[in-house]
Amino acid sequence: MRKTAREIIFDVESHLACSKKKHYSDFYIGITNDVDRRLFGEHNVDKNHAWWIYRTAVDKATAQVVEEHFLSKGMKGETGGGTDDTIYVYCYEVTDTTKE
């Protein structure tokens, strides 16, 4: 289900509240058109044992709004790139085994 920026921000904030981390800088936020490749492949997030979340945005512009929102709060990550099908917003806890 595709979600608005407000819905995705709420979901991510709710998920953050379940984490033992207290700072936005302990997390990475990004957007992609392929969650498995980006999150579990390129970032090396452990699919079964790590803290992560992703949501599907209405469109790329919505995904970028969410990304910029969390970057402004101090999460790791960068803006830019992507194609029109870059509609997935993902967030994960940065650990010794993840690759930013």
pLDDT tens per residue, range 51-92? 999 999 999 999 999 999 999 999 999 997 788 999 999 999
Mean pLDDT across the stretch 36-57? Answer: 97
Mean pLDDT across the stretch 3-17? Answer: 97
pLDDT for residue 31 is more than 90: yes
The pLDDT of residue 80 is 76
Could you tell me what percent of the chain has a pLDDT over 90?
90
3-state secondary structure 15-76: HHHCCCCCCHHHEEEEEECCHHHHHHHHCCCCCCCCCEEEEEECCHHHHHHHHHHHHHCCCE
The pLDDT of residue 20 is 84
The pLDDT of residue 81 is 75
